[in-house]
Amino acid sequence: MLQLIDKLIVTHRLEPGEYRLLLEKIGGETGAGGNERGGEAATNDSFLDALTAAARKVAIENFGNGVYARGLIEISNFCRNDCLYCGIRRSNRNVARYRLSKEQIVACCRLGADLGFQSFVLQGGEDMGMSDDAIAEIVAEIRREFPRHAITLSLGERGREAFQRFFDAGADRYLLRHETADNQHYTHLHPAEMSLEKRLQALHDLREIGYQVGTGIMVGSPGQTLETLVKDIVFIEHFRPEMVGLGPFLPQHDTPFGGEKPGSLRMTLALLAIFRLMMPRALIPSTTSLATLASEGRVRGILAGANVVMPNLSPVETRALYALYDGKKSFGTEAAEGVAALTSELATIGYQPAFVRGDYRG
Ligand code: SAH
């Protein structure tokens, strides 16, 4: 088994059957099941330890002990989609909807820049109340005021023309998780009007336009199996995204999946490590959902090879409204508090936030 880890370190890939063996060794099911939620199981698992230690070594070789900090701004929780897992899905009537104005978004960037951030991520639902023009103008305004900062968008599928306009206005990167590379599983997670084919088309469009592209999955989403996970790994191996977003699925009580189990900590850490070994220079965040799942989840993600953190710069008033899942954690309500909390959290494992653009360097 340890040979598989060595092979992955050296060749950066495995055969599908070998990925499967590796995942089986980590722990059969992809959901949390039983006793592993943040518990001792992970620390006793020498195989997982070997895998994450190898990934951590590769991350340190490439990035040292600086963790790229990106300021996250959640710009709107309106959404035309009805993804079955997501708390801000269209049919959830219990969400108070909000949309930040251009002025509010730029103010968040200013605050972030004052705190040292050189990289902003604008995330939101597919809010058609915000026109492509309006978004392009927001990007252009941030670009004018912060000519050297990185601008990342994560606004779902808005179509190739829109992607092109946002890029022309100054956006550098786009995050769009494929969510699952298995057709049937995709259908299980999404309403009929969405399809894996459209999602993959959007990812190819983004790449062709010239974005640094991020994709990824939720670990332990309902219906996920070892087969679908192997497909995800193989998809990512072939697509070679610059960024990989990976966190556990967490239930949100107003969604159809509100009663489902959260994803597995061990499986999430194992997948972070696999992607780090596969793509030594990829930008891989230790996500908020991982921090929400388990105490010390965020630092454990870094110790498994992640090299990015995304503290929240959204206004205090709207932050609780961007509730994709229950219990969503943030570093502290004020952005400045958040940075201080992040810095001390990373210091406990000998790392520190790196306030840089943090571009992909292949
Ligand atoms: N509208 C954008 C941004 C969505 S939120 C888009 O569709 O890309 C960003 C990510 O949060 C999603 O891609 C999904 O993988 C994740 N997410 C949504 N609901 C979640 C849940 N219940 N648990 C964990 N992650 C979730």
Residue 159, Ramachandran bin (φ over 0: left; ψ between -120 and 50: alpha; else beta): left
The span from the CA of 113 to the CA of 119, in Å, is 9
C-alpha of residue 1 to centroid of ligand 1, in Å: 33
CA 199 to ligand 1 centroid distance, Å: 14
Overall CATH class of domain 2-354: alpha beta
Q: What are the DSSP calls for 20-39, one per residue?
A: HHHHHHHHS-SB--TT-TTS
Q: How confident is the prediction along the chain (362 residues), in pLDDT tens digits per residue? A: 789 999 999 999 999 999 999 999 997 555 544 444 444 444 348 899 999 999 999 999 999 999 999 999 999 999 999 999 999 999 999 999 999 999 999 999 999 999 999 999 999 999 999 999 999 999 999 999 999 999 999 999 999 999 999 999 999 999 999 999 999 999 999 999 999 999 999 999 999 999 999 999 999 999 999 999 999 999 999 999 999 999 999 999 999 999 999 999 999 999 999 999 999 999 999 999 999 999 999 999 999 999 999 999 999 999 999 999 999 988 777 888 899 999 999 999 999 999 999 999 98
Structural tokens at position 208: 């062709």
Collect all residues with Cβ–Cβ distance below 8 Å to 212 and sequence separation of at least 6: 172, 173, 174, 242, 243, 283, 359, 360
CA angle (292 as vertex; 287, 296 as ends), nearest 5 = 80
Residues with CB under 6 A from ligand 1: 85-86, 123, 125-126, 154-156, 176-177, 179, 218, 247, 249-250, 252, 289, 324-325
Structure tokens at 337: 């508090």
Q: Report the SS3 class of residue 259.
A: coil
- In DSSP notation, 290-312 reads HHHHSTTHHHHHHHTT--EE--B
Domain boundaries, the chain: 2-354
Looking at ligand 1, which atom is closest to the CA of residue 255? 22
Sheet of 308-309: strand order equals: 308-309, 66-69, 352-354
- The predicted model scores a pTM of 0.95
Rounded to the nearest angstrom, the distance between the alpha carbon of 324 and the centre of ligand 1 is: 7
Q: Which numbered atom of ligand 1 lies nearest the CA of 79?
A: 1
Instruction: Identify the burial level of 343 via C-beta atoms within 10 angstroms of its C-beta, where 0-12 means exposed, 13-18 middle and 19 or more buried.
Output: middle
Dihedral angle over CA of 217, 183, 15, 4, nearest 10: 30
User: Which regions of the chain does DSSP assign to beta strands (E)?
Assistant: 66-69, 71-76, 119-124, 150-154, 173-175, 212-219, 243-248, 308-309, 352-354
